[in-house]
């Protein structure tokens, strides 16, 4: 990380027109949101993220220490969890039917079918980011988006589960069957606090498919790690390649107290966390 003095000198150059947007993108690349939206909005957000990053990281270190150590980094691979092939196919089909990019595009069903197989009945699943079609909002899914697509797929896949969702675009919030959705600004601690009184205290699976910026992701960890149920999971989706250096740092901080796995794929990178790696071992394939 560059020194604060050099960083703020570059910000002054940008504000005065001596640095172009493309030059600022290079400087701020690790903090840039990996999502759709204007370059200027991404730069403005990355500037804030860079300033707040160290304090948030220190908060995360303090929080991680509260979880018991499990004896060493990455004791197993999440893809070693046994699940029947037809369950993977069924979840992928549901993602596609409802219009979620978690299916044919990313093939995330290979991960989620395994994680969901470890969840007990009547579990709580919470996803941040519903997929707004509003192109004026950072991290939108384009005008053809189907908001809540993955929530509907998960609702149909696990009829017994209670599904919650949150998004910064209040225009796309909805309730249906076992689904409830609420407003959330991932960059606001106050917004997370308000959300906290509306969803259960314990969550089995958290999916962060929201803003896709490192600071927003860390805010999700700070809010959700204490709320994980026994054998609870968090998945951070669609991490930008330029931000992997940040996530490798976070992995180093967390891996003695949590299962932490950085999954790199051709269509998107994910960070997977489990708060009870030893408890999950019962689900590992014996073959």
Give pLDDT tens digits for 223-267: 999 999 988 999 999 999 989 999 999 999 998 889 899 998 878
Could you say which DSSP state residue 263 is in? E
Domain residue ranges in the chain: 78-283
- Which pTM was predicted? 0.89
Give pLDDT tens digits for 95-136: 999 999 999 999 999 999 999 999 999 999 999 999 999 999
Q: How confident is the model at residue 94 (pLDDT cuts 50, 70, 90)?
A: very high
Give pLDDT tens digits for 35-76: 888 888 888 888 888 889 889 999 999 999 888 776 555 567
Mean pLDDT, the chain, whole residue set: 88
What percent of the chain shows pLDDT beyond 90?
63
pLDDT at 1 over 70: no
CA angle 273, 74, 225 (to 5 degrees): 25
- SS3 sequence of 94-163: HHHHHCCCCCCCCCCHHHHHHHHHCCCCCCEEEEECCCCCCCCCCCCCCCCCCCCHHHHHHHHHCCCCEE
CA separation for the pair 187, 215 (Å, rounded): 7
Its CATH class, for the domain covering 78-283, is alpha beta
Q: Tell me which residue of 45, 100, 13 sits closest to 211, measured CA to CA.
A: 45
pLDDT at 5 over 90: no
pLDDT at 278 over 70: yes
């Amino acid at each position: 990380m560059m020194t604060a003095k050099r960083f703020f000198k570059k910000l002054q150059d940008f504000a005065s027109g001596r640095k172009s947007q493309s030059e600022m993108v290079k400087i701020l690349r690790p903090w840039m949101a990996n999502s759709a939206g204007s370059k200027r909005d991404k730069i403005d957000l990355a500037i804030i993220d860079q300033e707040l990053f160290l304090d948030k990281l220190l908060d995360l270190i303090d929080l991680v220490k509260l979880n018991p150590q499990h004896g060493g980094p990455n004791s197993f691979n999440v893809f070693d969890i046994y699940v029947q092939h037809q369950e993977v196919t069924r979840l992928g089909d549901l993602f596609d039917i409802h219009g979620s990019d978690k299916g044919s595009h990313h093939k995330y069903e290979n991960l989620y079918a395994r994680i969901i197989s470890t969840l007990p009945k009547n579990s709580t699943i919470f996803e941040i980011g519903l997929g707004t079609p509003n192109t004026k909002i950072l991290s939108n899914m384009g005008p053809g988006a189907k908001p809540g697509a993955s929530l509907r797929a998960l609702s149909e896949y696990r009829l017994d589960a209670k599904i919650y969702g949150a998004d910064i675009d209040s225009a796309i919030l909805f309730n249906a069957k076992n689904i409830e959705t609420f407003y959330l600004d991932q960059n606001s601690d106050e917004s997370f606090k308000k959300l906290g009184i509306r969803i259960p205290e314990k969550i089995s699976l958290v999916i962060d498919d929201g803003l896709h910026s490192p600071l927003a992701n860390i805010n999700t960890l700070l809010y959700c790690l204490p709320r994980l149920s026994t054998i609870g999971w968090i998945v951070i989706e669609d991490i930008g390649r330029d931000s992997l250096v940040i996530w490798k740092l976070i992995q180093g901080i967390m891996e003695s107290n949590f299962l932490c796995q950085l999954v790199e794929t051709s269509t998107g990178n994910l960070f997977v966390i489990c708060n009870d790696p030893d408890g999950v071992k019962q689900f590992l394939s014996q073959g």
